[in-house]
């Protein structure tokens, strides 16, 4: 923050501190690690503590954050309580969920209990009333727009590969298939980034949900595959497939297992194709190069799913022939076939 902006932010915090939040010393703000967006988070030394957010209104959809938070809270989902908001300046005062992200708490002993809790929370999210003014439809345009990030940022900008007409035709065909598969599924409220870095373990050991402002009305497997094929952590594939089917039994028992697993895998392929583009963009445009270290696991998820289905096998073959030879020269690259196995 620049000095004037910082002073404006501090003055706003002081003016809008809730009366029940006590200060025994002058106000202090501690910068916290941010997310993939442009928001900046600060912990305040109030009792109990609060989180102040500087969320540039020209770069972040702050009204969406508030409206989604209220809709989820109405269903009993634990999202941070909003104490104050200034849409014009992009300032929030939020409940402090503490320090404990789910990701570092996961290990072979805890994964089942935490994932069961995360799946139960997800079912509650999917019961949220899908008000179209709050949750825009996850339509073909949005699905295709996500996947276009792969072609531009991952293939073109990061790897320096120029796609020819054949390449573009192959990708267009795949993207159409993946969009059709997504839209054929039951449609529900979708968090859209539901994974171990956006779930927090609260003081009462329940799960809190963060980073939900991009929520939409879309395919039932989207959040499930985001959780079970997490871009930041990998668990045995068979274990996660069993979890997916257990979820199906609760959420949409009338769907055949094979159909549900195909939706699940192809939804994961759509999401991970998008994520390859997003991680490349975060590194190149925003200087957040740490995300490149997670690309090998994202590639592994993508190719494992693509290889298993006739409609996407051409993409697997194309990636191996056209893309994989360019990966070895990347400083972040390691063998995708074993990515995620060292926990």
CATH class for the domain made up of 3-95: alpha beta
Q: Convert the pLDDT of each residue in 285-303 to its tens digit.
A: 999 999 999 999 999 999 9
The answer to whether 93 and 84 are in contact (CB under 8 A) is yes
Of the listed ranges 42-56, 118-132, 152-166, 248-262, the one predicted with least confidence: 42-56
C-alpha distances out from residue 53 to 26, 80, 86, 203, Å:
19, 12, 10, 21
Q: Is 307 exposed, middle or buried (0-12, 13-18, 19+ CB in 10 A)?
A: middle
Q: Which residue has the higher pLDDT, 300 or 343?
A: 300
Q: Convert the pLDDT of each residue in 185-232 to its tens digit.
A: 999 999 999 999 999 999 999 999 999 999 999 999 999 999 999 999
What value does the mean pLDDT of the chain take? 94
Q: What are phi and psi of 26, to 5 degrees?
A: -55, 150
Q: Residue 19: its pLDDT value, please?
A: 79
> Measured on CA atoms in the order 180, 184, 190, 196, is the torsion positive or negative?
negative
CATH class for the domain made up of 103-338: alpha beta
DSSP 272-290: HHHHHHHHHHHHHTT--GG
Rounded Cα gap, residues 2 and 206, in angstroms: 38
Contacts 24+ apart (CB under 8 A), 120-123: 121/77, 121/199, 121/207, 121/209, 122/191, 122/194, 122/223, 122/224, 122/227, 122/247, 123/247, 123/250, 123/251
Q: Which parts of the chain fold into alpha helices (H)?
A: 3-16, 62-74, 111-126, 140-149, 165-184, 222-228, 237-251, 257-284, 295-307, 310-318, 324-327
Cα angle value 151/152/153 (rounded, 5°): 105
DSSP at 153: I
Task: Answer whether residue 1 shows pLDDT above 60.
Answer: no
Q: Is the peptide bond before 169 cis (omega within 30 degrees of 0)?
A: no
Q: Residue 39: its pLDDT value, please?
A: 86
Q: Convert the pLDDT of each residue in 17-75 to its tens digit.
A: 887 766 767 888 888 876 656 889 999 988 888 999 999 999 999 999 999 999 999 99
Average pLDDT for residues 167-194, to the nearest whole number? 98
The answer to whether 297 and 303 are in contact (CB under 8 A) is no
Q: Convert the pLDDT of each residue in 232-262 to its tens digit.
A: 999 999 999 999 999 999 999 999 999 999 9
Rounded Cα gap, residues 271 and 193, in angstroms: 10
Token output for 121 = 């929370």
The full set of domain ranges for the chain reads: 3-95, 103-338
Residues written for the chain: 343
The answer to whether 206 and 174 are in contact (CB under 8 A) is no
Token output for 268 = 């994961």
Q: Convert the pLDDT of each residue in 299-317 to its tens digit.
A: 999 999 999 999 999 999 9
Cα angle value 328/330/332 (rounded, 5°): 110
Average pLDDT for residues 330-343, to the nearest whole number? 90
Residues ≥6 apart with Cβ < 8 Å to 262: 181, 309
């Amino acid at each position: 923050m620049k000095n004037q902006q910082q002073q404006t932010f501090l003055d706003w915090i002081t003016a809008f501190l809730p009366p029940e939040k006590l200060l025994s010393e002058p106000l202090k703000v501690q910068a916290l690690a941010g997310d993939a967006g442009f928001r900046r988070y600060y912990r305040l030394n109030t009792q109990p503590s609060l989180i102040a957010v500087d969320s540039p209104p020209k770069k972040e959809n702050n009204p969406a954050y508030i409206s989604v938070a209220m809709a989820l809270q109405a269903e009993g989902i634990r999202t941070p309580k909003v104490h104050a908001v200034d849409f014009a300046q992009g300032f929030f005062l939020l409940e402090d969920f503490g320090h404990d992200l789910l990701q570092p708490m996961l290990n072979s002993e805890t994964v089942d209990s935490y994932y069961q809790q995360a799946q139960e929370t997800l079912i509650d999210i999917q019961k949220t009333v899908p008000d179209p003014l709050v949750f825009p439809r996850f339509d073909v345009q949005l699905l295709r727009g996500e996947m276009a990030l792969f072609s531009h940022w991952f293939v073109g900008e990061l790897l320096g590969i120029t796609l020819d007409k054949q390449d573009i035709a192959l990708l267009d065909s795949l993207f159409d298939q993946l969009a059709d598969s997504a839209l054929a599924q039951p449609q529900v409220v979708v968090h859209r980034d539901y994974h171990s870095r956006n779930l927090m373990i609260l003081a009462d050991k329940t799960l809190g949900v963060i980073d939900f402002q991009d929520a939409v009305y879309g395919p039932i497997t989207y959040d499930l595959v985001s959780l079970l094929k997490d871009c930041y952590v990998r668990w045995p594939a068979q274990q996660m497939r069993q979890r997916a089917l257990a979820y199906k039994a609760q959420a949409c028992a009338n769907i055949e297992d094979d159909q549900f697993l195909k939706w699940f895998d192809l939804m994961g392929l759509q999401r991970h194709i998008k994520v390859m583009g997003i991680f490349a963009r975060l590194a190149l445009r925003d200087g957040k190069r740490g995300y490149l270290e997670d690309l090998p696991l994202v590639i592994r998820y993508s190719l494992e799913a693509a290889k298993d289905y006739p409609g996407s096998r051409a993409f697997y073959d194309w990636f191996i022939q056209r893309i994989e030879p360019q990966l070895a020269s990347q400083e972040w690259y390691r063998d995708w076939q074993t990515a995620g196995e060292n926990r």
